[in-house]
Amino acid sequence: MNTGSTTPAPTSTLDIGIGGMTCASCVARVEKALKRVPGVQDASVNLATESARVVYAPSEQMQARLLRAVRDAGYEPRAADAAVTAVDASPWSGFAPVALGLALSAPLVLPMLGDLFGQHWMLPALWQFLLATPVQFVLGARFYKAGWHALKNFSGNMDLLVAIGTSASWALSVWLWLSAAPGAMAHLYFESSAIVVSLVLLGKWLEGRAKRQTTAAIRALHALRPDVAHLIGADGEVDVPLAEVLVGDSLVVKPGERFPVDGELLEGQTQVDESMLTGEPLPVAKDAGAALTGGSINGEGRVVMRVRAVGSETVLAHIIRLVEDAQAAKAPIQRMVDQVSAVFVPVVLLIALVTLLAWWGSGAPFELALIRAVAVLVIACPCALGLATPAAIMTGTGVAAKHGILIKDALALELAHKVDVVAFDKTGTLTVGRPQLTALKVEADVLEDELLALAASLQSGSEHPLARAVVAAAKARQLPLLAPENVRSVPGRGSEGLVGARCLLIGSLRWMDELQVDLGAMAAVAKQRQAQGATVSAVAERTTEGLRLRALMAFGDEPKPGAKEALAALRARGIRTVMISGDNRGAAEAMARQLGLRPEDGEVMAEVLPGDKMARVLELKQGGHVVAMVGDGVNDAPALAAADVGLAMGNGTDVAMHAAGITLMRGDPLLVAAAFDISDRTVAKIRQNLFWAFAYNVAGIPLAALGFLNPVLAGAAMAMSSVSVMSNALLLKRWKPTK
């Protein structure tokens, strides 16, 4: 019997741009069409970005099948980033059909205004027909086309409601005109059909303008990449397209230009504006060997850089991908809206039919009953429902990215406002992460410099902060280092290896205790240093007589600027904060008190091995809390993934940033509270939008059915509902992190 674990089947992801969607019902229909394609595992459609993300099992011609499915559903497949990268030449682009519709409809509305002042300016029926018909069937052709596709797929959408409602109004007017007695002035409803079509077109145009503002963050990020780089080739400096730049090339970057790709500074000194990455406006000094990020702006110096990453591997490309992923993702709350929208249009059609029959059956003229039904159809269009959530998410993630907070998925954005416990990794997150060797206590028969040189030699290949502190201390004393041999790292404890002919072990006091190393009189020194907040490590040597202690090393770190204020800001929001540290309890609690944490209230978890951080996060979750984890290292990745919301410091490792739902590009602890704040505000906008979208339909449909709204007012209200939802979402663009 095969007991081996089965590997999950490989999947691929494809983004597709979709043109022609108008409301939440369109979203449901496209998703349904895509999910019917064999091999598709999931499909998520976003109305605001006019795109779909499809997860599928790789197979031949899958992309062609998906594009065909979109077209067969009645929509236009496009490039995935068409809605984002398209930049209109004028803010009035696309307004011509709207202007024409309003111009043709205006003479039909004038008689209604004249009635208010006792004037009768009614146009002859033929003139009304000639003005309304091109609006209905030329400018309104899009509604018929999209509505017909919906009918063919046995579903409904906003276009179908508009097409049925305005056609009924137009047809009723033609019938009343042709059936009227010669010379009689029949009451016609051409103005209703023309004005509704024009107002809906106006609403869609305003909505499109607002959508372009929500994608401004992505367009701004794309614009950070220059088209040309100055390559140093065999024949000197030459300009080449960015796509031809290779890793290892040397590029010249002139003052004021953007760095085209990621790399390191080879020649020159400069100040670099990295605000597009970090949100921090102050320029950063760069010397030879410093890392440079594509998209940042060179200061006053002409410099030469060596290329380290190009294309999709650059930091900027990674940021764009994160923001695009977040904006394309569907928040859990949106799925409920989609379920409602799927049945919304059929229910509205039924309500309109009941309205028609009820008014007619109660003795009202047929034309009045039909107008009441038309008003129901027009006011019920679910545009606002489809835009409520994605518009807020796009704006919220865009403005967050502008200030150095990269939100990777909509789930993290929606969950962050519910967080009531935040667990922080200590080193590199709450502290500077560059501990220094503050004391070295050696045994009586050991020379201090000799011991430090041996310890630094053993640690010379390690990236651990304490190891780097030992090496830095040895270099400061200009001590010679030897190449270690057979170095073995023991995770969470220390390392062992040969330096020359001596076998040394450097690690935590807990490891020494496990190895039964006798600290002797040094035990009191260790306790004293720990009580003062130092992290204490021991150096032992493996001899013929067993393990013998040779020295104790005390390390000190300092809180990150803003860390104490960040914890206070979270506490002010009613959020409990916890520090997780691998240090001994004395050192961890001493640092915690510097940061304003209260160890007596359980706000410090000390002596936690790297592999146990995830278990501590899970313990907090099991207590019924919504937990966020903030970290920066490889060993934080499991805990970041296990938390409800993971926040990775941007100065940390790629592994941590991949595991986290939110990345803080500046590595500033104050951005943690800012991330929760933008989450709060975005979710509040989603709820406001959904409330008004639902309230508008809940209130509007009965008013129309009872005769309190005519089709013209219903059309205006329907158009403005979408615009109000988009405008409300765009208010998020004014958000700034609290200083």
DSSP-derived secondary structure letter, 6: P
Single-letter code of the amino acid located at 648: A
Residues 560, 430 contacting (CB under 8 angstroms): yes
Element (H, E) at 538: strand 535-543
- Say if residue 86 is exposed, middle or buried (CB neighbours under 10 Å; 0-12, 13-18, 19+): middle
- Say if residue 108 is exposed, middle or buried (CB neighbours under 10 Å; 0-12, 13-18, 19+): buried
DSSP string covering 692-721, please? Answer: HHHHHHHHHHHHHHTTSS-HHHHHHHHHHH
Q: Where are the beta strands (DSSP E) in 173-319?
A: 228-233, 236-241, 250-253, 262-267, 270-273, 284-286, 291-292, 297-298, 303-309
CA–CA separation, 387 vs 23, rounded Å?
Answer: 8
CA–CA separation, 403 vs 279, rounded Å?
Answer: 4
Element (H, E) at 323: helix 315-328
CA–CA separation, 482 vs 458, rounded Å?
Answer: 8
Q: Are strands 604-605 and 576-580 parallel, antiparallel or unpaired?
A: parallel
Q: Quick check: helix, strand or coil at residue 541?
A: strand
Element (H, E) at 369: helix 366-379
Q: How far apart, in Å, are the Cα atoms of 305 and each of 241, 254, 282, 597?
A: 17, 11, 22, 44
Determine how many CB atoms are found less than 10 A away from the CB of residue 462. Answer: 18
Select from 95, 20, 97 the least CA-distant residue to 52.
20
182 Cβ partners below 8 Å, 6+ apart? Answer: none
Cα angle 165, 381, 206 (rounded to 5 degrees) comes to 105
Residues 491, 633 contacting (CB under 8 angstroms): no
Pick the catalytic residue from 159, 425, 583, 677: 425
Q: Is 425 a catalytic residue?
A: yes
Select from 145, 137, 146, 142 the least CA-distant residue to 194.
137
Q: Where are the beta strands (DSSP E) in 620-737?
A: 627-631, 645-649, 662-664
CA–CA separation, 533 vs 285, rounded Å?
Answer: 33
CA–CA separation, 417 vs 677, rounded Å?
Answer: 7
φ/ψ of residue 541, rounded to 5 = -125, 135
CA–CA separation, 379 vs 31, rounded Å?
Answer: 25
CA–CA separation, 323 vs 393, rounded Å?
Answer: 11
CA–CA separation, 73 vs 213, rounded Å?
Answer: 28
CA–CA separation, 151 vs 160, rounded Å?
Answer: 8
Select from 620, 606, 660, 614 the least CA-distant residue to 635.
614
CA–CA separation, 646 vs 662, rounded Å?
Answer: 6
Residues 425, 580 contacting (CB under 8 angstroms): yes
Catalytically active residues, by annotation: 425
